[in-house]
């Protein structure tokens, strides 16, 4: 494994995940009319063909409206 190639590819993938996830969440909040409170969130990362799963949970605060 070439660490430099792996790290660059991993960072590119994670940036894509972050940007597209933020856009999807913003659209959901806008389209659903939510204005306040919190959204419980869960992200599951898997690798096709591998027995790998990483779960991140948290809350996204919308504020007071």
Give one word for 46, left, alpha or beta, with left for phi > 0 and alpha for psi -120 to 50: beta
How confident is the model at residue 56, as a pLDDT?
98
How confident is the model at residue 60, as a pLDDT?
97
Q: Where are the domains of the chain?
A: 3-63
pLDDT over threshold 70, residue 65: no
C-alpha distances in Å from residue 34, one per residue of 48, 58, 59, 63: 34, 18, 14, 10
Q: What is the pTM of this model?
A: 0.85
**Is the torsion defined by CA of 34, 57, 54, 9 positive or negative?**
positive
3-41 pLDDT, tens digit each: 999 999 999 999 999 999 999 999 999 999 999 999 999
| Local structure of 41: helix, strand or coil | strand
39-49 pLDDT, tens digit each: 999 999 999 99
């Amino acid at each position: 494994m070439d660490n430099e190639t792996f790290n660059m590819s991993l960072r590119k993938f994670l940036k894509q995940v972050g940007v597209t996830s933020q856009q999807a969440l913003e659209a959901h909040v806008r389209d659903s009319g939510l204005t306040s409170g919190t959204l419980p969130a869960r992200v599951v990362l898997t690798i096709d063909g591998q027995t790998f799963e990483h779960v991140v949970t948290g809350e996204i605060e919308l504020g007071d409206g």
